[in-house]
């Protein structure tokens, strides 16, 4: 008889209930099982109606985020044995509208992600014949950690500022803006400044720092935001002193 652990999984079935409730399931407690394996066991063996997102099972796709005992986690990288003897409480990511069970609505994040234009912007593209844009290892290091973001939104779940006011641009979007701002090949910093320097941009952040602790990929959005505050403040002072200046 294998050992078991109880999972308390948040359920929200909009056609039959007004607010989320919890269902309990007993799943095998195996050393190599992550929370996601437990959820898959429920779906396959116990209750096929449970809804949740997942894809790669290896911490790259960023789709299996949920709160495990209140902490935002990737369920594929969070092991059941670390929570033994249980029970383990599994809830959808905080601060997002819930569509069903553990599935949240991503629209708001996707709109914000697009707003910061997270791609390389060039004033003028170099003709292909002239070859690639070269970059030194030191220039790569400037932004590399921010490029590790997998858009899993655990940082949004951890951020009380976003929870209080969903107009706030939020950690990942700003970190990704910085990923391109700090890239030596990019020339779009001015265009991103308008979005980032709004009150709902970097200025909404009060440096709680939870986003950086929640990140499963070692990105430091809190640091990115504070650093950008300095950039934005310097730009504002420059504009004040030299209103005629172009940049």
> Which residues in this chain contact other proteins in the complex, by CB under 8 A?
12, 14-15, 18-20, 70, 94-95, 97-99, 105, 138, 141, 160-161, 163-165, 203, 206-210, 212-213, 220, 222-223, 226-227, 229-230, 232-233, 237
Tokens of 104: 């949240």
3-state secondary structure of 205: coil
Tokens of 15: 């056609």
Nearer to other proteins, 98 or 121 (CB): 98
Peptide bond between residue 138 and the one before it cis (omega within 30 degrees of 0): no
The CA radius of gyration of the chain, in Å to the nearest whole number, is 21
Nearer to other proteins, 99 or 115 (CB): 99
Rounded to the nearest whole angstrom, what is the least distance from the CB of residue 14 to other proteins in the complex?
A: 4
3-state secondary structure of 195: helix
Nearer to other proteins, 19 or 247 (CB): 19
Rounded to the nearest whole angstrom, what is the least distance from the CB of residue 165 to other proteins in the complex?
A: 6
Nearer to other proteins, 74 or 158 (CB): 158
Rounded to the nearest whole angstrom, what is the least distance from the CB of residue 180 to other proteins in the complex?
A: 17
DSSP assignment of 43-60 equals: IIII-TT-------SSSS
Strands 71-74 vs 65-68: parallel, antiparallel or unpaired: antiparallel
Nearer to other proteins, 30 or 229 (CB): 229
Rounded to the nearest whole angstrom, what is the least distance from the CB of residue 12 to other proteins in the complex?
A: 5
3-state secondary structure of 90: strand
Greatest C-alpha distance within the chain:
78
Rounded to the nearest whole angstrom, what is the least distance from the CB of residue 219 to other proteins in the complex?
A: 13
159-to-8, 9, 34, 65, 145 alpha-carbon distances in Å: 24, 22, 25, 14, 20
Rounded to the nearest whole angstrom, what is the least distance from the CB of residue 102 to other proteins in the complex?
A: 12
Burial (CB count <10 Å: 0-12, 13-18, 19+), residue 98? middle
Nearer to other proteins, 33 or 203 (CB): 203
């Amino acid at each position: 008889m294998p050992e078991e652990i109880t999972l308390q999984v948040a359920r929200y079935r909009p056609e039959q209930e007004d607010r989320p409730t919890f269902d309990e399931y007993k799943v095998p407690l195996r050393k190599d099982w992550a929370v996601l394996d437990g959820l898959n066991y429920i779906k396959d063996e116990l209750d096929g109606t449970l809804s949740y997102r997942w894809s790669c099972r290896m911490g790259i796709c960023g789709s299996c985020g949920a709160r495990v005992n209140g902490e935002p986690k990737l369920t594929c990288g969070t092991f059941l044995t670390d929570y033994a003897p249980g029970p383990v409480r599994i809830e959808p990511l905080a601060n997002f509208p819930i569509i069903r069970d553990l599935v949240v609505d991503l629209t708001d994040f996707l709109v914000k992600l697009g707003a910061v234009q997270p791609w390389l912007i060039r004033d003028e593209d170099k003709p292909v014949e002239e070859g690639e844009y070269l970059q030194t290892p030191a220039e790569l290091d400037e932004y590399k950690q921010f490029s590790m973001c997998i858009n899993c939104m655990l940082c949004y779940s951890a951020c009380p500022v976003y929870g209080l006011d969903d107009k706030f641009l939020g950690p990942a979007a700003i970190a990704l803006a910085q990923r391109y701002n700090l890239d030596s090949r990019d020339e779009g910093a001015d265009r991103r400044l308008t979005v980032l320097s709004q009150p709902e941009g970097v200025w909404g952040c009060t440096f709680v720092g939870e986003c950086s602790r929640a990140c499963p990929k070692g990105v430091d959005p809190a640091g990115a935001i504070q650093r950008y505050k300095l950039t934005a403040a310097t730009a504002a002072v420059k504009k004040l002193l030299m209103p005629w200046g172009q940049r």
